[in-house]
Amino acid sequence: MSKIWWTAAATAAAALITAAFVTATDSSGTPDDGMLVLVGQGTHRDDPLHFQLRGKPVKGLYPGAVKQMRITVVNPLGFRLRVQSLSAQVSGSNRRGCHAESQNLQIRQFSRPLPITVPVGRTDLSGFFPITMPRGAPRTCAGARFTITISGVGRRVTR
Amino acid sequence: MRRTGKVLLIVAVVASLGVAGTVLAYAGGWVVSVGPARLTANVATMPQGVEPSVARQDGQAVVSWSAQEIAPGVRMDHYVVTAHSADDPPRPDIIHTVGAGRGPAETLVFTMAEMTGGKWRWSVAPKYRGWTGEMSRLSQRLVFPAAPAPRVAATPGKGPATKPAPATAAASGAPAGEAGAEPATPPPTAPEPAPATSDSEQPESAPQPVLSAPDPAGSSAS
């Protein structure tokens, strides 16, 4: 009787472990190289994992000013990430006469080439998003506060 | 033995489930949701102008005020200086837009011809690339006595005591001509063909200085 129990238990455990490894290596959402696709913004339900993007607010913009918006990646996932893309866009403004559009505020591409590998935990990226206020920005933008939404996509680093 | 086997079985199943769950989570079975990453970018506000200090010198009004910044280290590029008449009825405002200097203070001279016979107060508003700040509080009032004779219609021997000087802007420590992107008119000490020495020696044919603002595009009298 005990042999039967032992055999059943061992079989069940082996089956579970095998299934888990198959899942990990075959159906993790990355058919090519076994990496995971990770979305920083967290808007897609189907994406399996998320990391966080943080940054410090930019202050003191004025016509002709170029400021640097630095980004910090918070990786809570327990493995290294390779950040494949980062994007930022002006998504709002608190002033009626100063809309969130390129005539009033412009964001250029991330200054550093991607991908960037980040370890577990918090990493201050060496690059930045250049934030530019055009010289012709209207007077109504004085004192305005723009909202900038940033997002990124990364993959798990397996080796 | 039988009891021990059951216990071991339970332990094995639990351990297997734990390992399997961990591996599944590691492979993407968990969704760690985070809120959208939103940051802010704040635009500087245009400051209100600094109340100017004024002084009367040789019939002219010397208006001075502290230089201002729109952001740390970024100076205003122009200032709008307005002379407000305190007469009754009031005269039209005299407005000069002057380029900023490099020093910590700015100065603008309103000529005797502009000021004569009136009571005036001044205000300053900073400008940066088309953005204009709020006008400052009005300065103290200065009173200028009327000129003894009309400037243009002066007959030989009855001209103004001192030639009216054009409005000049100068940063302290910098020459007037280097005051800013749109340099000020040279100060009254500039060479003149026939400098007057007194009322009685001012000839009618002597060239009269043209009242000009340092920034022609921005200067007007309303």
Which structure tokens are listed for B122?
Answer: 């001044």
Q: How far is A123 from B183, CA to CA, in rounded Å?
A: 50
What is the amino acid identity at position B106? E
Is the CB of residue B27 less than 8 Å away from at least one CB of chain A?
yes
Of B29, B33, B43, the CB nearest to A50: B33
Out of A86-100, B7-21, B23-37, B57-71, pick the least confident.
B23-37
Strands B37-43 and B94-99: unpaired
Please state the separation of Cα A95 from the chain's center in Å. 28
Residue B129: list chain A partners with CB under 8 A: 62-64, 135
Q: How far is B30 from B111, CA to CA, in rounded Å?
A: 78
Class assignment of domain B53-188+203-221? mainly beta
Strands B60-66 and B78-85: unpaired
Please answer whether residues A95 and A144 qualify as being in contact, where contact means their C-beta atoms are separated by less than 8 angstroms. Answer: yes
Judged by CB atoms within 8 Å, which residues 95-114 of A form the interface with B?
98, 105
What are the residues whose beta carbons fall under 8 Å from the beta carbon of A78, sequence distance 6 or more? A120, B26
CB distance B42–A60 less than 8 Å? Answer: yes
Tell me the mean pLDDT in the region B161-187: 36
Say what the pLDDT of residue B186 is. 34
Of B33, B39, B130, the CB nearest to A148: B39
pTM: 0.61
The kind and range of the H/E element at B128 are strand B119-128
Length of chain B, in residues: 222
Kindly report, residue by residue over B181-203, the tens digit of the pLDDT: 333 333 333 333 333 323 333 33
Please answer whether residues B221 and B92 qualify as being in contact, where contact means their C-beta atoms are separated by less than 8 angstroms. Answer: yes
Per-residue confidence at B166, pLDDT binned at 50, 70, 90?
A: very low
Residue A46 Cα distances to A28, A42, A79, B33, B106, angstroms: 12, 10, 20, 11, 62
Collapsing DSSP to helix, strand or coil, B158 comes out as coil
Q: How far is A151 from B82, CA to CA, in rounded Å?
A: 49
* Sign of torsion over alpha carbons B149, B155, B157, B163: positive
Helix and strand counts by DSSP (H, E) for chain B: 2, 13
**Burial level of B97, CB count in 10 A (0-12/13-18/19+)?**
buried
Q: How far is B116 from B87, CA to CA, in rounded Å?
A: 12
Considering chain A, what is the average pLDDT of its residues? 78
